[in-house]
Amino acid sequence: MYPMTEKTSVAGERGDAILSFANIGLTFQTRIGMFGKPQPLHAVQDVSFDLLRGEVLGIVGESGSGKSTLAKLTMRLLEPTSGHILYEGKPIASYKGAAQKKLRSDMQMVFQDPNASLNPRMTIEQSLQEPFVLHGRGSKRERHAEIVRLLGVVGLPITVLQRYPQELSGGQKQRVVIARALALKPKVLIADEAVAALDASVKAQIINLLLDLQQQFQLSIIFISHDLPMVQAMCDRVLVLYLGRLMEYAPRSVIAEGGAHPYTRALWKSSPTADPDQGMAEQDTLGGEIASPLNPPSGCVFHTRCPEAMERCRQELPKLTRLAPAHGVTCILFEKS
């Protein structure tokens, strides 16, 4: 069960986007076997959306849907092969030198595994000092004071500073990672499966922490997960991806009712229930397996698993249809004739 936090969205209108993704695509050239010919692997295809200021935007989908790829593209760990990403109206590809360094301080990322994010040979204080040292901010005394303040923000005692990561619990380590991400006062926080490796009770604590921090610092957050109920509980809007393509975007209230796209509805039905009176065995399952991005289906990429697929779905690439100002679906079922 995830907390349905009563939160006040500070997201502005659509014109108040801090990040804009315009027709983003990323194709890798890969080989199968040592002597295989290069083949295109379409990780993301023609994805467009905005992240509004002060918004918590969820991105959900099964493994291989392109969620983490979008996160890496945002952080410029990967470069798109088509389309562009704008940060405050300016293409992030145009940021160079000092401007790019400033951009990295404005956008921070929290990864899934805190063990991989923290150096086991460094104390917690040394790990928290890293961003200040790399960006040349503050004296040693000022850094220490700011680190103590950050520990208070994320609910950790000062006694953890001289400990090593292996001496902390999973939830404590993820709080340290979040504190480090907040050190440079970012405007955008990307949480990529940030609670997936934690126990259920700790997940709820970290989710509430992120929501509190979002309200306190007016952060814009991209929250990536395969868990649709958790995303729906936390986010203002939700994007649903499948095999690198955008299937649906909608406010959380629409997603809470199951959404409109057959894939969104299937994800919702196959998700663990929050109702203690309903057992896991009663949940529907999403049939079939996601296709390979090396050989995606023709037409709608979901048609091989869609219970409502028609012949048109096998032949035609569906267009994005707007059902409401903040709700769009990429499905032939909703296209106007």
* Distance of alpha carbon 171 from alpha carbon 165, whole angstroms: 11
Give residue 52's pLDDT band: very low, low, confident or very high (50, 70, 90).
very high
Q: Supply the pLDDT for residue 70.
A: 96
- CB count, 10 Å around CB of 185? 12
pLDDT (mean) for 52-69? 94
Mean pLDDT (the chain) is 88
Amino acid identity of residue 153, one-letter, is: V
CATH topology of domain 17-26+41-250: Rossmann fold (3.40.50)
Q: Rounded CA gap, 195 and 224, in Å? A: 10
pLDDT in tens, 124-137: 999 999 999 999 99
Contact, 49 vs 249, CB < 8 A? yes
Any idea which of 230-234, 307-311, 327-331 has the lowest mean pLDDT?
230-234
Q: Considering only 125-129, 167-171, 200-204, which range has the smallest mean pLDDT? A: 200-204
Better-predicted residue by pLDDT, 286 or 225: 225
pLDDT tens, residue by residue, 108-124:
999 989 999 999 999 99
Distance CA 134, CA 129 (A): 9
Task: Give the pLDDT band of residue 226 (cuts 50, 70, 90).
Answer: confident
Of 10-14, 127-131, 201-205, 330-334, which range is least confident? Answer: 10-14
**Are residues 110 and 189 in contact, defined by beta-carbon separation less than 8 angstroms?**
yes
Asked if the model's pLDDT at residue 156 lies above 50, the reply is yes
CA–CA gap between residue 113 and residue 118 (Å, rounded): 9
Band the pLDDT of 286: cuts 50, 70, 90: confident
Rounded-to-integer distance, Cα 11 and Cα 219, Å:
10
What would the mean pLDDT of 141-149 be, rounded to a whole number?
95
Look at 144-158, 172-186, 238-252, 265-279 and tell me which has the smallest mean pLDDT.
265-279
* SS3 call for 329: strand
DSSP 18-34: EEEEEEEEEEEEE-SST
Contacts of residue 196, Cβ cutoff 8 Å, sequence gap at least 6 = 112, 225, 226, 227
Predicted confidence band of residue 284 (pLDDT cuts 50, 70, 90)? low
- As a residue count, the chain comes to 337
- The pLDDT score that the predictor gives to residue 138 is 87
- With vertex at residue 132, the alpha carbon angle to CA 127 and CA 136, rounded to the nearest 5 degrees, is 140
